[in-house]
Each structure stands twice: as C-alpha cells, then as structure tokens.
Amino acid sequence: MAYMSPMTDTRAFARAVLRRLAGIAALAVLALALGTAAAWAKGAHDYSFTAIDGTPLPLDAFAGRPVLVVNTASFCGFTYQYEGLQALYDAYRGRGLVVLGVPSPDFNQEYASAGEVKEFCDVTYGIDFPMTDLVHVRGAQAHPFYQWVAATGGNRAVPRWNFHKLLLGGDGALVAAWPSTTKPRSRAVVARVEALLPR
C-alpha cells in the first residue's frame, strides 16, 4: 500500500469537499432556474386582484375573453383616457372584451383610497368596467401580476407612467403592451383587440 503523507490526505479531503460543494451549488442553481422558469411559465389567469369594492377579482374569471389592463390615476394628464376606455368597453363588451382599470399610487397622482377613486370614476366618467383596489404596478412592491408582466414582457411591458396598457389573450397570455400616449381607441389597440374577438 502506497504511503500518503498527512498533507496529501488533507489535500485529497479538500478536493472531495470542493467537488461535493460544487455539486450542491449546481443543484441549487438548477432549482432556482427551474423555479424562475416555472414562474415565467404562468399566465395572467394565475393571479388575482381585490376589486375596488373589496370583493375578490380573480383574473381566471375572464378566461376565454381578451382583457385590456390599464393602470389608472385620477390626477394625471392622461386621465381623460377614461372616456376612451369606457367607449372601447361599450363598443366591444358584447363580443367579450373586458377593460380592467388598476388604480395605482406609484406616480403620486391617485386618491388615497379605493372609495375616493370609485366615486371619482362614477361621477366624472360613468365608468362601469371592472376596477381593482389600489395596487403598486412597478418595482419591488409591484402586485404579483405586474411582477409576472415584467418577467414575461420585459421593460416594454412595465408601466412607466399612468394609463399604460396591457392586452391579455383569452388564454391569459400577454399579447401586447402600449405606453400612456397610445389612446384606448387608437388604430393599434382596436386592431389587436378585434383580432382576439369572435367574428
């Protein structure tokens, strides 16, 4: 039997430990990657909001229907777009379109409570499409739906300001995103919406 010095034994042991640690690290990275991939693989129907009246508002309630999701605010230069959103909803709700308003305080242009937002929308614009409670739409505090949007659609899909628009297909996939400057009844939005609706 060949003689092995204590130093050789220590080096062999260290190499064995490093190999084991490398294997564990690789498994951890793989698990993280698979977990991230699983999160990205989700669709919008896996998420739920609270409605502006405090009741549950799961997105799977809209399965089979396209949904235009818009983060809104009451004191913004784009607030007039509520009128266009309601008109779009009126024009296409009979064919299945849902417009979903998501009031957000992220840009410091929204009331402090859902009740105030609801009253403003009812009185000023006669809004009757569904709306959520106030939520964050960007950053670390973003609602899980908007975290999914960021992971799925990248920076282009993340709201940079109020009245950013996201179009979901009937299967819950993210179909399109438009910035605040794109009006609800613009040719681009209407064409994508009509493409998702039954003839």
Q: Which residues are catalytic?
A: 76
Residue 168 is inside which H or E element, if any? strand 165-168
Structural tokens at position 53: 């009246």
SS3 56: strand
The single residue listed with the structure tokens 């859902």 is: 114
Question: Counting beta carbons within 10 angstroms of the beta carbon of residue 137, is it exposed (0 to 12), middle (13 to 18) or buried (19 or more)?
Answer: buried
CA distance 18 to 118: 60
CA distance 41 to 28: 20
Q: Residue 165 CA to chain centroid, in angstroms?
A: 11
CA distance 104 to 118: 13
Neighbours of 7 (CB within 10 A): 8
N residues, the chain: 199
